Structure 1
Amino acid sequence: MKLPRYPEYKNSGIEWLGNVPASWRVERFKVSVKSCRNGVWGGEPNGDSDDIECVRVADFDRARFVVNQGVPTLRSITEREREGRILEAGNLLLEKSGGGEVHPVGQVVLYEREVPAICSNFIARIELSAGMVPRYWMYQHAAAYSRGVNVGSIKQTSGIQNLDQNQYLNEQGVYPTEYEQAAIAVFLDRETAKIDALIAEQEKLIALLAEKRQATIFHAVTKGLNPSAPMKDSGVPWLGEVPAHWEIVPLKYVAELRSGGTPSKDNLDYWGGDIPWASAKDLKVERLGDTADHITQAAVESGGASLVRQGAILVVVRGMILARMFPVVETLVPMAINQDLKAVLPSARLSASFLAWLLRGSAGESLQRLDEAGHGTKALRMDAWTSIHLPIPPLEEQALVAEFVVKATTRLDELRTSAVRAIDLLTERRSALIAAAVTGQIDVRGEVAEVAA
C-alpha cells in the first residue's frame, strides 16, 4: 500500500518520533491524561455485592492491545475502594509491575468492555482528557512500547520489573487533531484486521501441522509401515490394533530409568565445567547435544549428579511444563540431568531412536498419568507411567519406522518453519504500519475519507 505523506514535516527532537507533520504538537503523554489511578487487589470474593471483576495483566491481549473479553477473576472491593477506579469503555490500562525479558513491563491496553470492573494493583487506570480518541492513543502507546520508550522508566525490584508511571507519562508523544486521531484509528483498525486475519490463517496452519505431525508419529509407531500387514487386537484401548508380529510390552520391561540431581549451588567448584547438565529448559529440541548449564567432574564425583549415556531418552517427570506438553529428547552425548527429569535407557530390544518416537507418539497417554505436585506443577505417577503397554516391532523394523518418521516430520517441520516466518514478517509489518500512522509518516486522511464516501 502506497500512501501519501504530509506536505510538511518538522524535527520533533524525540528519537522514537523522528520527523512529524509540521502541524502536530509534541507534548508529554501526561497532557493526554485526565487522571491516572492505581488499581487495587482487594480481598477474596465472598458472594455479596462487593464482588466485582478484576482485570489482571494476564487478561491483556498483547497482540491487539485490548483487555480480553473474558475476565475470570473476582475480588471483593468495597464501595470506598472502588471510588475513581471503576473501569469504563475508553479507559487505558498501564501495566506497572511484572513483565520480563520478552515482554518488559509498561504495556498499555484499551478497556472496551461494558462490564463494570476494577484493575489489580499491578495496573493503573488512565482516563483520557477531552479530545483524545482512545483507540488512537492505544495505538500510539503500542508504537512507543515497540520502540522501547517504556524501558527507561523500568525499575528492577527483587526480580520483578516495576514501572515508574510518572516518568513514563513524562515521555514525549504527538498530538494530531481529534479528527486526525479518529482517522488514524479507523485506518489502523481496518488494516491491522487484515493482517490479523492473515496471521490467524498461519496460526491455524501451524495447529493443523502439529496435529498432522502427532498423527503421523502415532500411526507409524503403532501400525507400522506396511498397510497389508496382518493385524491383531493389542488389548490396550488407546493402541487398538497393531501388526500381528509385534509384541506388547510394559515400558518397565524394555527400559531402565535413571534419576537426576542438582549439585550444591553453594559450591562453585561444581559449576562451570565441561559436562552438560540438562533441565527442562533444555528440552526444546528432539536431539540434545549441549545444555545451558554445565558442571564439573568434581560435581559428579561428589554424588550430586551422575552421567547418563549417549542415546538415553530424557523426559520431564515433574514441573509446570507437564501441564502443556510431554517433551521427549534423545541425548547425543553423555550428560547429567536434574531431579525433574528421568533418563530412559532402552534395553537391547529397543533402538534409542525408535523408543524416542514411540514415547512421542504416546505423549497423550503419558499425560493421562499425572498427579498434582503443588504450586501449579504436575508430576508423573511413575508406577502408572512405567506400566504403559507399548508396541515393540523387531529391531530391523524399528530402524525403518524411525527413518520414515524422521523424513515425514522433517517435511512437516519445514512447513511449520515457513508459517512461523510468515507470522514474524506479518507482525513486523503490523508494528511498522502502526508506528508510521501514529507518527504521521503516512497521511491516511484521504484513504479514510475515500472509504467512507
Structure 2
Amino acid sequence: MSLPRYPEYKDSGVPWLGDVPAHWKVQRFKWVIEQNDGGVWGEDPDGSDDTAVLRSTEQTVDGYWQIGEPAMRKLADRDRLSALLQEGDLLVTKSSGSALHIGKTTLVDESVAAMGACYSNFMQRLRLDGQLSPRLAWYLLNNGLARTQLDLLSNSTTGLANLNGSIIGEIRLATSLQDEQNAIVAFLDRETAKIDALIAEQEKLLSLLAEKREATISHAVTRGLNPNVPMKDSGILWLGHVPVHWEIAPFRYCVDFQEGPGILATDFHDEGVPLLRVSGVQGRWATLDGCNYLAPARVAEQWEHFRVAEGDLLISASASMGTVCEVGPDVAGCIPYTGIIRLRSVSGVMHKPYIRHLVVSSQFITQIDLLKAGTTIQHFGPTHLNQTVITRPPEAEQLEIGAYLDEQLSIMANLEKEAVCAIDLLRERRSALISAAVTGKIDVRGAS
C-alpha cells in the first residue's frame, strides 16, 4: 500500500516524533485528559448489591478485553460512583509483575459500559476531554510510540517499572482536527482488521500443525506405519488396538530411568560440575541455561552415578510434559537437578529414536495423568514411570518409526517456523502502520 505524505511538515521538537504535519498540534497527553484517576478494590462481597470490578488480568497484552467472571466487590457508594466506567474511558495497567503488561490499555466500549463495572487499583482510568478521539488514543497507547515512552518515564522517574497518572500524562503526542482523527481511526480499523485476519490464519495454521504433530506421533507409536497390519485389542482402554505382533510391556523393563538428586542451595558453588536446571531441558538439546555448580569432590563422593552421558534423553518432572531433549557433548558429565529425569534405552529392547517420540505421545501423557489422579503424588516422577506400560514394536520397526517421525516433524517444524516468521512480520507491519498514521507520516484522509 502506497499512501501520500502531507503537503507540509514542521519539526515537532520531539526526536522520536520527528516532523509532523504543519497543522497538527504537539502536546503532552495530560492536556487532552479530563479525568486521570486510580481505581478501587473495596471489601469482600456479601452477595447484596456487589459491584463488578475489572482487573488488569482481564486486559490482553495487545489491548483487548478478555472478561470471563469479573471480581465482585463491596464498594462504598462514593467509590462506586467515582470509579463507574463509561463508554470511551481508557484503562491503563500501571502495575504488574511483568514488564510486558505494564502500559497495556483497553477501551471501554458499549458492551463493557453496560456491565456497570468499576476498575481495580492496579489500573489508571483516562477520560478524555474531547480533543482526542478515545479510539485513536487507544491505538497510540498500545503502540510502541507510547509504550516506549512509558517504559522510559517510569524507570527514570521512579526507578521501578510502575506507572502513575502523572507519568502517563507526560506522553508526547501530535493531534489533528476531529474530522481528520475520525479518518485516521477509520483507516486503522479497516487496515488492522485485514492484518489481524492474516495473523489469525497463521495462528490457526500453528494450531493445526500442533494437532497434526500430536496425531502423527500418537498414531505411529500405537498403530505403526503399515495401515494393513492385523490389529489386536491391547486390553487397555486408553490404548485401544495395536498391531498384533507388538508387545505391551512395563516401561521400567524397556527404559532405564533415574531422577536427579535433591541438592540444597548450600551445595552450590561459583564453579565446578554443572548442575542442570529445568530451564536447560526445554529444547531439542539440553543446555546449561540457568545451571548452578557443584564441588567436584562432593560429586565424586555422593552424586557420581547421576552424571548424564552423551545421547541420554532428559524429561522434566516438574514442568509440563511434552518436551524431551537429548544430551550433547557439551552437557555430558553434568548432574541433573531433582525434577529432571534421565532416560536411557535398554540394549536389545528399546531404541532411543522410538523412546524420544513415545514419551511425548498423547497416550503416554494421558496414562501419566491417570496415574497421578489416582495417587496423592500430583507431580510427575519415577513413581509414575514404574507403573507405566508402553507399546514395544520389534527393534527394526522401532528404528523405522523413529526415522519416519524425525522426517515428518522436521517438515512440520519448518512450516511452524515460517508461520511464526509471518506473524512477526505482520505484527511489525501493523505497528509501523499505526505509528505512521498517528504521527502523520502518511496522509490517510483519502484512503479507502
Same fold, judged at TM 0.5 (above): yes
CA distance 1:211–1:189, shift in 2 (3 Å): same
CA distance 1:294–1:372, shift in 2 (3 Å): farther
* Cα distance in 1 between the residues matched to 2:16 and 2:266: 44
> What's the offset of the Cα at 1:370?
4.0
CA distance 1:170–1:440, shift in 2 (3 Å): same
> What's the offset of the Cα at 1:57?
1.9
Equivalent in the alignment of 1:80: 78
> What's the offset of the Cα at 1:312?
3.0
Q: Does 1:331 align with 2:327?
A: yes
* Cα distance in 2 between the residues matched to 1:378 and 1:121: 36
Letter in 2 for 1:62: V
> What's the offset of the Cα at 1:7?
1.0
* Cα distance in 1 between the residues matched to 2:182 and 2:244: 69
Equivalent in the alignment of 1:96: 94
CA distance 1:242–1:55, shift in 2 (3 Å): same
Give the aligned CA root-mean-square deviation in angstroms.
2.9
Range with bigger deviation, 291-300 or 84-93: 291-300
**Structure 2 unaligned blocks of 5 or more:** none
Letter in 2 for 1:96: K
> What's the offset of the Cα at 1:59?
1.1
Per-residue CA distance 1:180-213 (angstroms, 9 max, x = gap): 1121111111110000000000000110011111
CA distance 1:261–1:38, shift in 2 (3 Å): farther
CA distance 1:31–1:344, shift in 2 (3 Å): same
Equivalent in the alignment of 1:106: 103
Q: Does 1:366 align with 2:362?
A: no
Per-residue CA distance 1:72-98 (angstroms, 9 max, x = gap): 433332323223111222111111111
* Cα distance in 2 between the residues matched to 1:293 and 1:234: 42
Q: Does 1:229 align with 2:226?
A: no
Report if aligned partners of 1:330, 1:352 keep a CA contact under 8 Å in 2: no
Equivalent in the alignment of 1:32: 32
Equivalent in the alignment of 2:61: 62
* Cα distance in 1 between the residues matched to 2:260 and 2:435: 49
Letter in 2 for 1:331: V
* Structure with greater strand percent: 1
Equivalent in the alignment of 2:209: 209
Letter in 1 for 2:15: E
Equivalent in the alignment of 1:188: 188
* Cα distance in 1 between the residues matched to 2:159 and 2:11: 38
**Structure 1 unaligned blocks of 5 or more:** none
Which secondary structure does the structure 2 equivalent of 1:27 belong to?
A: strand
Report if aligned partners of 2:37, 2:165 keep a CA contact under 8 Å in 1: no
Letter in 2 for 1:209: L
* Cα distance in 1 between the residues matched to 2:287 and 2:132: 55
> Runs of 4 or more off by more than 6 Å in structure 1?
156-160
> What's the offset of the Cα at 1:144?
4.3
Q: Could you tell me the percent identity over the aligned residues?
A: 35
Which secondary structure does the structure 2 equivalent of 1:308 belong to?
A: coil
Report if aligned partners of 1:278, 1:336 keep a CA contact under 8 Å in 2: no
Report if aligned partners of 1:372, 1:379 keep a CA contact under 8 Å in 2: no
Range with bigger deviation, 10-19 or 309-318: 309-318
CA distance 1:293–1:381, shift in 2 (3 Å): closer
Letter in 1 for 2:59: F
Which secondary structure does the structure 1 equivalent of 2:199 belong to?
A: helix
* Cα distance in 2 between the residues matched to 1:157 and 1:183: 36
* Cα distance in 1 between the residues matched to 2:374 and 2:151: 38
* Cα distance in 1 between the residues matched to 2:75 and 2:31: 30
Range with bigger deviation, 329-338 or 90-99: 329-338
